[in-house]
Structure 1
Amino acid sequence: MQAKLLLEDGTLFTGKSFGSEKNAIGEVVFNTGITGYQEVLSDPSYCGQIITMTYPLIGNYGISRDDFEAVRPYIHGFVVRQHEEIPSNWRAQYTVDSLLKEYDIPGISEIDTRMLTRKLRHYGTMKGVISTGNHSIEELMEQIKGTSLLTDQVTRVSTKSIFSSPGNKERIVLVDFGSKSGILRELNKRDCDVIVVPHNTTANQIRRLKPDGILLSNGPGDPKSVPEAVTMIHELLGQFPIFGICLGHQLFALACGADTEKLKFGHRGGNHPVKELSSNRCYITSQNHGYTVKEDSISNTPLEITHINNNDKTVEGLKHKHFPAFSVQYHPEAAPGPFDSSYLFEDFIEMIRRTKAETPELPRQAQIVAKAKKGDMQNA
């Protein structure tokens, strides 16, 4: 079946349909990864977007149950140059086509993805619609104009209830703004006792969980669409060690008084060079975001820039000057790779241990007695 991809500027691509047969509107973006299309499809940070893969051949190694980064994909459409219908890999359990059909997501192949990518790089990301019906260009353009891009993506992808992944070492509260499974895997690998909480969990609710540290996950959309998270982070700064990833990095910056802005076409792929300023070392990183922290907004905050993007010099890492808290714009859990930056999870755990050593607590019995005495004084 024929499919169309129409952009809001009137550019039309005609190709071949795969996946679900429907109309779907979203923000058209591109990903430069050569492998890892399953992890891209299932990354919650792509919620509401139509993804263009710049690598031409997609689907050749199929889909495996072990490679998902979320329980389901949240994308609105998938654009590829060549869709391979018959995968050749011993791990493959089904195809990209069947995955998209299962979750009612349309795909389009056999179009010039190089032209599309160059247009998005030149003019920036834009709304678009994938259509498999017999709709006219005028009808599709009216649909685009009459549809607003999502602003509630975090609410859509975040867990709705608290759950735990037990371990024997540090207790980490993972605030789920659309967390990839790779973050939980990295914490489990280090035997952390992880409690995953929804995006709108309050500071008091997190305090009651008695964490050793707090990890702010990745997620989709504009960080300013999650103001309650900014309030929560601001209230907890200095009370617990904090590590922010991607959207968590941007929310951490907002909580410290910095500002964020939308990038022209974002960073999406597994080949983004990032320089660590303290060592002058370059890391190749996995990234997926459309917003960034404004460098000129950091000077009047208690934040210090730790990493920059070697391509466009945007802010890629921050740390607090006074409190045990840091963040990175990229994905240290990778999935897909590279895994150059997984050491940041060890840095986070080491920061927790150092903080506990520098600020020892009273023995638990003494804490209970002190709390009881405080209650008696308030009741007197």
Structure 2
Amino acid sequence: MDSQKELSGKKVLLMAFATGIIVANLNYIQPIEGLIATSFQVSKATVGVVAMLTQLGYAFGLLLIVPLGDIFNRYHLIQVMLGFSILALFMAFFAPSITIFGVASLLVGITSVAPQIIIPYAAYLAPSLHQGKVLGNVLSGLLTGILLSRSVSGLLGSVLDWQYVYLIAAFICTILLVILHLYLPRDPRQHQRMNYGKVLASLPKLLAKEKHLQGSAINGFCLFGVSNVLWSTLAFYLADQYHLGSGVAGLLGLLGITGVLFASIIGRLVDTYSPRMTIGLGILFSTLAFVIFAFIGQLFIGLIVGIVLLDLGTQFGQVSNQAIVQSLSLEASSRNNSVFMFSYFLGGSLGTFFATLAWSHLGWVGVCSVAAVFLILALLGHLLLKEPQKLQKVG
């Protein structure tokens, strides 16, 4: 297969666009948590649990669904999962109670895993010497979806009933489904004769075998956990400290554009220099962010600088870890990605849960303390399970 012909610049752009649109479903809830609590007349801690369910559902979708990418045609699998995601979004829009909305949020998480099928698919189609660059471009779309989802959700929540965020998302995903059906690259692989049960049973073996997968799983767990510590409590902090609403929380999400602009550059740094170096930078930037939040977070400029550093740190870790994971094996690329991203979003869900819990009891000091625990774990993993100095080239 001539990968360069198979994966043109336009196809990479489409895949980046698709990952951004779909992953946005996971983050719509963050700026509007206060509005949801008021609407259903429940506590902020309860809505924090619902937000955690979205992340936790995504983690289990990664564990149970993404490995199917090593068995079935990815062109079809991506579209099937997007179809289920659309149904879950409609359920969230029509939910009459917090319980039904919680179930819908869990299903939104489980079904929105298509980006993590697209990422190893892009790596498979990309020329091996340019995998870091291609992954950087696709992950730029992923991060754009995350930051724009917060902004769009916060702004829509300030002018419309919050439920319309999910209705609009469902219609956008429906349009995307048609576009992917027409233009997504066809999967050149033959159907793999692999038993689903054996595929799932192979996941712990892959983790035990690959030291670098272990390192990436721990690092992803910690850095995404730290990211969600902030984004799950920012709307509460803005309301408490500045008496500002969801619209401002959404606008602050736009500061993550720094991470988007640097994603492709980070990919090239990983290809040219060392993923160990770039992961170290990710830990450093995330740590500096929470030092700023802890000591001058009461100043609006402190929030702005900290958010820029945090999103940059998250992106350094994400691109670097994805490049490591996708360099391990072409045959097991979806399964390796499943293990990594399960750990990634498990960290995110626990970051959301513990940060919301800490906010309820200890306020901003508690939130920053939760972040410190994640950052210490990230540093220990970085020192003990050393990332590779150079990527091994596969394929």
Greater share of residues in strand:
1
TM over 0.5: no
TM-score bracket relative to the smaller structure? under 0.3
TM-score, normalization: structure 1? 0.26
Greater share of residues in helix:
2
Ranked by relative contact order (alpha carbons within 8 Å, sequence separation 6 or more), the top structure is: 2
